[in-house]
Structure 1
């Protein structure tokens, strides 16, 4: 028997199958219209392609002091893990100069870690809009031959181009926050998460989500007094204050005009009020160039699993309207207003 010929015969179907699986994964990625869903699909595809034991998605978050790497997704054997592994907490990038150096490269990079430097990981730098570094994937115990690295490079380029298109489609041009048309899709995703979670547990309070709506007080006066250029600057700075006040896994939107929205993950209504009032005070104490003091009113409501996205938005909007009609520069919660008899259910 010609063993070489036989080996070739049994190898080809395996390669064909691998190509088919890769193409199917790419098709699945193209279907995604939301960044987290795209990251999930990409992570699963890379895990399968490299036969990785672990894969962790990190996003880079900038502050005045430093850039931090924040873990947002973790895979074990191509499946999303329910919990992060030890050591996958957020950390300043300055703590790991070797990683920072690898992220400056545009292609797949190797990084050794562990006390004896025996554990070899693959690092995939991720670039979003304007080719700016937005995060990275760290792949552990993966296949690392030349063909796999070439496929990874091609897949990475495809992912980054698609992410850039997605980013352009779902971001507000002025502030860079998510735009209004993506809000319904995000709330729908939350409702699906709540429904799935509550099927597995009888605790209906587990993993609450809140929707907060903000309205900059007397914004028309700002435009009329100082002009639209300074009005736009107020909107931009307000968005920046939002980015610096909420968590990486919270979703921030410009709803339209001077209205903004925050979708707060895994938080109850009382905790949300504390966080939102802290943000209200931050805005109140900020000195906006030329304009000076600016305040904002906020309405917040719990997202209920058996309702439409428009109903969640409406309840938060009712609380916001109450806040504006009763003094402005305050946070009002729909559930609290109903309990006090100030709003009818």
Structure 2
């Protein structure tokens, strides 16, 4: 029976806690489990949508890579694992037993299920559980560091890192000329109309409640893979992946309409304006923000409660183009 040394345990903990990106942390965890506990295989099933209980296999270490389609019986066991918060045993068609471990954040929100295949469950179960607890605690620290304390959305500090990853993705597609999927990235800035009047009339406590409920509307209305940020005050930012500008406009208008129809307790109805721009290869985060902000400014000064696209405003002659072909603004 394989028995890990103290040095081995500490080395894996150091490697695990050196990561700051959640995806890289998942890979590091799978490596640690595979090498430290010596199982046959490790799989990480991330819970992508809490409401529909949609799981996706994000990491596989050791063993054969399974089909992207999760079998119905395994899906049921993953749901049971998350619902009970207890480890479950799943027997595959080939007779191998997979031990499923639930992983949750500090607020008991389910994050993922770790599947471990090993010949001797009793030998590694305790170490696996402890290592997963370290992972769970560290994920909670990362989330607390990345989230806005009032709304729970991503905070401004994390924006630069997230948007740079998106720009890199766009660059890679551009270099490969990989437009088969026909997907584009956009960044939008939202600003609650006349929010100062809300604070002046109802006080900052109710103002904070409006911000919290607005953030909830973003979470409920927009898609699970959209990146949602609170930039401060009544300003929010989101990064989207869409097929084209028309789809992006539809998504944003639908959200704007939902906000306008929502009854905020004691305050009544409010509206929101938004400006958005496409993220291009070799873009710079500050330039992306500036373009979206110009479109937002236009929306604010042309009636409010509307969504404006920077590129369309330029094409229509309503704005002067502030970027050249390289994606750098001209001063």
TM-score bracket relative to the smaller structure: 0.7 to 0.9
Q: Which moved more, 1:24-33 or 1:273-282?
A: 24-33
Shift of 1:30: 2.1
Change (3 A) 1:25 1:342: farther
Partner SS state of residue 302, structure 1: strand
* CA deviation vs aligned residue, 1:194-220 (integer Å, no higher than 9, x gap): 223333335398432111110000000
Q: Which moved more, 1:317-326 or 1:189-198?
A: 189-198
Q: Is the 8 A contact 2:26 2:44 kept in 1?
A: no
Partner SS state of residue 184, structure 2: coil
Residue 56 (structure 1) aligned with residue 45 (structure 2):
yes
Aligned twin of 2:327: none
CA distance in 2, matches of 1:220, 1:253: 20
Aligned twin of 1:243: 219
Shift of 1:193: 2.0
CA distance in 1, matches of 2:56, 2:221: 18
Aligned twin of 1:148: 124
Aligned twin of 1:5: none
Residue 110 (structure 1) aligned with residue 89 (structure 2):
yes
Gaps in structure 1 of 5+ consecutive residues: 1-7, 62-66
* CA deviation vs aligned residue, 1:94-135 (integer Å, no higher than 9, x gap): x94x54443355564323466xx95633222111123x0322
Which of 293, 310, 321 is matched with 1:317 structurally?
293
Residue 341 (structure 1) aligned with residue 317 (structure 2):
yes
Aligned twin of 2:14: 27
Aligned-residue CA RMSD in angstroms?
A: 3.3
* CA deviation vs aligned residue, 1:144-178 (integer Å, no higher than 9, x gap): 53333233212111111111111111111111111
TM-score (norm 2): 0.83
* CA deviation vs aligned residue, 1:57-89 (integer Å, no higher than 9, x gap): 22452xxxxx3323355234469x8x9712379
Q: Is the 8 A contact 1:198 1:204 kept in 2?
A: no
Q: Is the 8 A contact 1:252 1:263 kept in 2?
A: yes
TM-score (norm 1): 0.80
* CA deviation vs aligned residue, 1:32-60 (integer Å, no higher than 9, x gap): 32434433433454456534274422245
CA distance in 2, matches of 1:330, 1:84: 44
Q: Is the 8 A contact 1:125 1:137 kept in 2?
A: yes
Aligned twin of 1:75: 59
Aligned twin of 2:139: 163
Aligned twin of 1:41: 28
Change (3 A) 1:196 1:85: same
Change (3 A) 1:30 1:87: same
CA distance in 2, matches of 1:254, 1:42: 30
Residue 86 (structure 1) aligned with residue 69 (structure 2):
yes
Aligned twin of 2:102: 125
Aligned twin of 2:229: 253
Shift of 1:270: 2.1
Q: Is the 8 A contact 1:214 1:260 kept in 2?
A: yes
Aligned twin of 1:232: 208
Gaps in structure 2 of 5+ consecutive residues: 322-331
Residue 285 (structure 1) aligned with residue 261 (structure 2):
yes
Change (3 A) 1:119 1:333: farther
Aligned twin of 2:150: 174
Q: Is the 8 A contact 1:109 1:124 kept in 2?
A: yes
Runs of 4+ in 1 over 6 A off after TM superposition: none
